[in-house]
Amino acid sequence: MLSRKGRRWGADACVVGFSGGGVGAEFGDPLRERMVVPSLKLQDLIEEIRGAKTQAQEREVIQKECAHIRASFRDGDPVHRHRQLAKLLYVHMLGYPAHFGQMECLKLIASSRFTDKRVGYLGAMLLLDERHDAHLLITNSIKNDLSQGIQPVQGLALCTLSTMGSAEMCRDLAPEVEKLLLQPSPYVRKKAILTAVHMIRKVPELSSVFLPPCAQLLHERHHGILLGTITLITELCERSPAALRHFRKVVPQLVQILRTLVTTGYSTEHSISGVSDPFLQVQILRLLRILGRNHEDSSETMNDLLAQVATNTDTSRNAGNAVLFETVLTIMDIRSAAGLRVLAVNILGRFLLNSDRNIRYVALTSLLRLVQSDHSAVQRHRPTVVECLRETDASLSRRALELSLALVNSSNVRAMMQELQAFLESCPPDLRADCASGILLAAERFAPTKRWHIDTILHVLTTAGTHVQDDAVANLTQLIGGAQELHAYSVRRLYNALAENISQQPLVQVAAWCIGEYGDLLLAGNCEEIEPLQVDEEEVLALLEKVLQSHMSLPATRGYALTALMKLSTRLCGDNNRIRQVVSIYGSCLDVELQQRAVEYDTLFRKYDHMRAAILEKMPLVERDGPQADEEAKESKEAAQLSEAAPVPTEPQASQLLDLLDLLDGTSGDVQHPPPLDPSPGGALVHLLDLPCAPPSPAPIPDLKVFEREGVQLNLSFIRPPENPALLLITVTATNFSEGDVTHFICQAAVPKSLQLQLQAPSGNTVPARGGLPITQLFRILNPNKAPLRLKLRLTYNHFHQSVQEIFEVNNLPVESWQ
Amino acid sequence: MQFMLLFSRQGKLRLQKWYVPLSDKEKKKITRELVQTVLARKPKMCSFLEWRDLKIVYKRYASLYFCCAIEDQDNELITLEIIHRYVELLDKYFGSVCELDIIFNFEKAYFILDEFLLGGEVQETSKKNVLKAIEQADLLQESPKKTLSPIF
C-alpha cells in the first residue's frame, strides 16, 4: 500500500525517466525539438494553475501549457505522452477544451505500458463518447486487452467498455465479454458481468447471449460476482417478459441466499454497522420485487423471508434502514399477505419518527404512494404525519402536506382542518397555494355542516386570500347562496372581515357580493350565532365605497362593490341619494367595465326604476348544477347586463302576469292615490323578459316636455313594449335647474275611463337645486282598445318657500303612444 | 446511477463520472445547474432532492460535495451508503483524505472509483478487495517488469 502523504514534492510515480522540472520547449527551436524535453509535471502544473490570482491569469497559464502539450503531441513523444494527457485531463475538468487529446488516448491505449494504458483509458472515458467517430477505433485495442490475460489491463478495458461503449462496440465485443464470464478470476468475472449489463442496455438483443450463464453464476459465493449476477438478472427481467418468467424459478434460490446473508454473523469484510452486505441485500430485494410482482406463488415463497428481514434488521444506522426500506418497497409491490403489508406500513410509520431527516423523507414519499391502496393502514399514522407538517425542510413539509390532505376523511375532517389551517398560517409561500386549494377541496368533500364549511373558506380567504384559485369566489358565493339559514350569519362575518381588511381580493369580492345580497339581514341586527352587531346604513355604504375607491381593489372587485351598492338601493330603507351619486360618478370612470355598469345602473334609476327592484332582488337558492347555471347566466345577460360571478336565476311564471292584470281592473279614471305597488317577483320578471333591452327595438317614441315653471321641468318618456301592444309605460322625470330646492313633490294623474292607469312609487320627493338628482316615477297604462290617450296631471310641491299646485292636461301626446 | 459529481464549496468541479452518454455541452449545463442547486441548500435540509426527472443524493464531507444522480426506482438510502463507502476508500488510500489529495491526484480518485463502481453499479462490496486491486495496479505501474500475482 502506498502512502500518499507528503509525496507532492517527491518522486512522481507516473513518470518513467525524466524527473526534472521546468517549462516546455520554446516552439520552433529546431535543435531543442529533437531532444526529449523536460515537460511540466502534472502536479506542478496543478500548483501553477492554483497559484493564479485571477481568471485571466489562469487562462494564460493553461493556454501556454496547452500549446506545449499540443506541440508534444505533434512531435509524437511517446515517453511523456501519458503525462501530457493527464495534464490535459486536468484542464478539461476545469472546463477548457481538450479535443485535441482524443487521438492521443488511442495511442496510449495501444501502448504496452500499463502507465500509458491507465491514463489512456481514463482519457477515453472522459474525452470520447458515442458521438465521436474516434471512439470506434479503440474497439480493437479493447479486444486485444481483453484477451491478454493481465488482470489489471482486462479490468481497465472492461471498465472503459461499460462506461462509454456504444452499441456498435458492444456488438463487436460481446463474444469477448461472454468468454470472460466464466474465467477463473473473480476480479475479471465481476467486471465482465457488469459490462454485460451495460451491453444489454445498449443492445437489448444481446440478452440471449448473457442469459444462459446466469444460472451458474448464481451459485457463486463471491459477493462481487453475486451482486453483478443479480444486477444482470434484474436487467434481463426488466427488458423481457420471457426472461422474467424464466427467472421466476430462481426465487427459492434467491430467498436462500438472502436468508444466509441475514442470519450469518458479522463479517469484517462485508458488514456495515452490523448489517451483512447491505448492497447485496438491497439488490436481491429489488430482484425479488420484480419477480414477485403480480405473481402469487413467487410472492408466497418470499413472504416469510421478507417478514424476517423486516423484523430482524438493525435499524440504528442508515445501512440497516436502507435494507428495511427496500424490504418495505418489495412488500408493498408484490402480492403479500395483509399482515405483512400492515407491518410494512408500520415500518414506514416508525421511519416518520426517526431523528434522521433522510429517513423521514423516504417514509413520506413512500406513504404518499401507498395512501390510495392501503388507506386504512396509513390512516393509523395520521398523527405522526401531521407532526411532520412542522418540518423545517420544505421538501418534507410539502410531502407531509400532500399526505395529510390525502388522509382527510369525514370522521377526522374537523381535527385535520384545524391542523391544516394552522399550517396555512405559517407555511412557506410556495406551499400556500397548494395548501389553500387542498383545504378548500377537502372542505368541499367532507364539510360536516354548511356553517363549518363557510367558516373554513372564510378562514382560508383571510389567511391566504392571494393564493386561492379563481373559482374559490364563485364556489363560496354559491355555497352561501344555497344556505338560506346562514345568510345572516355569513353576511355578518363577512362584513366584520371586510371591515378589518380590504386588501385580500377574493375575500373582498365575496364580502361585497354578500353585503349586496343580504344587506337587509346585516342591518336587521339579529343573529343568534354571532354577537349582536349594530351596523347602520351609512357604515355599510361607506365600507363599500371604500372598497370602490381603494387602489388595492382589482377592477373585478370594484365591479362587485358597485353592484353591491346598487343592490342595497332596494335593501336599505333610506333614500338612495348617496348610492345614486356614486353610481353617477362612476359613469365617467376610466375603466370601461365599471363605466358600463355605472351607466346602466344610472339608467336603471332614471328610466327603468320600475324594474329596479325586480332586477336587484335576492337570488333564489342556487342549484350547484353546471348546465342550469349556464342557462341562467345567459338569461341574466339578456336581462340588464348585470353580470356577476354567480348566475342570476329566472323563473318564468306567465300565470303571475295575469294576476297582475286582474289587479288593474275597475279603477276609475279620476285622480288616484295609488298604493306603491310591491312588484311581485314572477310578474316583474316576465315583464323583464318581455322587454328586449338590447336593440333593435321599434322606433322610440320621442320624449315630451309637459311642464316648466321657474326652472322646474317635467318630462315624459314613453315605451311601448312590442310583446304587449296594450301596454304603455310612461316615465315622468322632474328636474330642477333653479337656485332653490324642490321639496314635497307629488305627482298625480288621471286617464279616460276606458284606460287603466297604475302609478308606481316615485323615486323620491325632493329635487335638489341646480340640477340635482331628478325624481322619476313610472305610470303603467293599459289601453287594449287603442283609445286615444288623454292625460291630466296634478303637481304639488314646495319651491322658494312657497307651495305650488298645478293642474293641467298634457297636450301633444304623440299618437304612437296609443295607436 | 447516471452520474456522480464531486465539487467544492466554491462550485469547482473535482471529479465527474458520467454513466450516460451526453454531449460536452449538456454535461456542462447539467453540472452548472446542479452545483448551483445543491450549494443553495441549507445545512439542515435532507440529502435528497428531485431535479428534472432524476433523484439527487448528495452529502458533504468537509469542503467537498459528493453528488449522485439516481433513477426513480433506485434506493436513496443505499446511495448514501455508496457515497460513504467511496469516501472511506479514498480515506484509506490517501490516509485521512482531504480535498487537496483529490485535486492533486484526481486520476487516482477516478481509478479508485472505477474499482468500486462499474457502469453505474456496485461491483465490489469488500473494501479490502477494492484497495487490493488499486495496490496491484499501482505496483504494475511502478515496476512493469515484475510479474504480478493475480489480484484474487
Q: Evaluate whether A200 touches A236 at the Cβ level (below 8 Å).
A: yes
| pLDDT of A121 | 96
Q: Evaluate whether A749 touches A759 at the Cβ level (below 8 Å).
A: yes
CA distance B76 to chain A (A): 8
CA distance A71 to chain B (A): 23
B91 contact A CB<8A:
no
Q: A580 vs A570, A599, A734, A763, CA distance in Å? A: 12, 11, 16, 11
- C-alpha cell, A58: 489562469
Task: Report the C-alpha gap between A486 and A499 in whole angstroms.
Answer: 20
The answer to ipTM > 0.90 is: yes
Q: Evaluate whether A712 touches A774 at the Cβ level (below 8 Å).
A: no
Over the stretch B101-125, which tens digit does the pLDDT of each residue have? 999 999 999 999 999 999 999 999 9
Task: Report the C-alpha gap between B106 and A14 in whole angstroms.
Answer: 13
Q: Do B151 and A280 touch (CB under 8 A)?
A: no
DSSP A684-723: HHHHHHHS--SSP-SPPPPPEEEEEETTEEEEEEEE--TT
Q: Name chain A contacts of B10, Cβ cutoff 8 Å.
A: none
Q: Evaluate whether A672 touches A757 at the Cβ level (below 8 Å).
A: yes
Which of B23, B29, B46 to probe the A interface (max A CBs under 10 A)?
B46
Nearest CA to A677 out of A692, A690, A661 is that of: A661
Q: Name chain B contacts of A94, Cβ cutoff 8 Å.
A: 12-13
Q: How would you class A702 by CB atoms within 10 Å of its CB: exposed for 0-12, middle for 13-18, buried for 19 or more?
A: exposed
Task: Report the C-alpha gap between A248 and A246 in whole angstroms.
Answer: 6
pLDDT along chain A (819 residues), means of 10: 40 36 44 57 92 93 93 89 94 93 93 93 91 83 91 95 93 95 91 97 95 93 95 96 95 95 83 91 96 92 94 91 96 92 94 94 93 90 92 89 92 91 88 89 88 87 82 81 82 85 86 86 71 78 86 86 86 79 84 86 82 78 49 41 39 38 37 39 38 52 88 90 84 90 90 86 87 88 86 91 90 84
**Strand boundaries in A530-611, DSSP class E:** none
A87 contact B CB<8A:
no
Task: Report the C-alpha gap between A558 and A629 in whole angstroms.
Answer: 23
Nearest CA to B109 out of B5, B3, B38, B21 is that of: B5
CA distance B85 to chain A (A): 10
Q: Name chain B contacts of A8, Cβ cutoff 8 Å.
A: 104
Q: A561 vs A457, A507, A548, A645, A754, CA distance in Å? A: 20, 12, 6, 13, 46
As beta bridge partners, residue B57 has B48, B68
A223 three-state secondary structure: helix
Task: Give Cβ neighbours of residue A528 (< 8 Å, ≥ 6 apart).
Answer: none
Q: Do A269 and B119 touch (CB under 8 A)?
A: no
B98 contact A CB<8A:
no
Q: Evaluate whether B61 touches B80 at the Cβ level (below 8 Å).
A: no
As beta bridge partners, residue A806 has A795
Provide the CA A667 distance to its chain's centre, in angstroms.
Answer: 65
B143 contact A CB<8A:
no
Q: Which of residues 39-78 of B touch A (CB under 8 A)?
A: 44-50, 73, 75-78
B98 three-state secondary structure: coil
Cα torsion A664, A666, A671, A674: sign? negative
- C-alpha cell, A728: 304603455
Q: Which helix (H) or strand (E) holds A163?
A: helix A151-164
| pLDDT of A5 | 45
B123 contact A CB<8A:
yes
Q: Which helix (H) or strand (E) holds B130?
A: helix B127-142
SS3 per-residue string spanning B54-93:
EEEEEEEECCEEEEEEECCCCCHHHHHHHHHHHHHHHHHH
Q: Which of residues 266-305 of A touch B (CB under 8 A)?
A: 269-270, 272, 277-280, 282-283, 286
| pLDDT of A17 | 34
Task: Report the C-alpha gap between B46 and A399 in whole angstroms.
Answer: 13
Whose grid coordinates read 342570476? Answer: A648
Task: Report the C-alpha gap between A557 and A524 in whole angstroms.
Answer: 26
Over the stretch B12-50, which tens digit does the pLDDT of each residue have? 999 999 999 999 899 999 999 999 999 999 988 999 999
Q: List, edge to edge, every strand of the sheet that includes A802-809.
A: A742-750, A792-799, A802-809
Task: Report the C-alpha gap between A253 and A237 in whole angstroms.
Answer: 16
Q: How would you class A162 by CB atoms within 10 Å of its CB: exposed for 0-12, middle for 13-18, buried for 19 or more?
A: buried
Q: Name chain B contacts of A151, Cβ cutoff 8 Å.
A: 136, 148, 150-151
| pLDDT of A552 | 85
Opening angle at CA A386, ends A385 and A391, nearest 5: 85
Q: Name chain A contacts of B76, Cβ cutoff 8 Å.
A: 358, 361-362
Q: Which of residues 156-215 of A touch B (CB under 8 A)?
A: 158-159, 162-164, 166, 185-187, 190-191, 194-195, 197-198
Where along chain B do its domains lie? 3-142
Closest chain B residue to the Cα of A357, Cα to Cα: B46
Q: A710 in the Ramachandran plot: left (φ > 0), alpha (ψ -120 to 50) or beta?
A: left
Q: Name chain B contacts of A282, Cβ cutoff 8 Å.
A: 75, 78
CA trace torsion B49, B50, B52, B53 (10° rounding): 130
Peptide bond before A722: cis, by omega within 30 degrees of 0?
no
Q: Do B78 and A278 touch (CB under 8 A)?
A: yes
Q: Which helix (H) or strand (E) holds A808?
A: strand A802-809
Q: Do B150 and A185 touch (CB under 8 A)?
A: yes
Whose grid coordinates read 377526522? Answer: A412
B28 three-state secondary structure: helix
Q: What is the DSSP letter of A641?
A: S
Q: Evaluate whether A423 touches A401 at the Cβ level (below 8 Å).
A: yes
Phi, psi of A458 (to 5 degrees): -60, -45
As beta bridge partners, residue A746 has A796
pTM of the model: 0.72
Phi, psi of B55 (to 5 degrees): -105, 135
Task: Report the C-alpha gap between A547 and A355 in whole angstroms.
Answer: 50
How many other C-beta atoms are found inside a 10 Å radius of the C-beta of residue A743?
14
- Which architecture, in CATH terms, is B3-142? 2-Layer Sandwich (3.30)
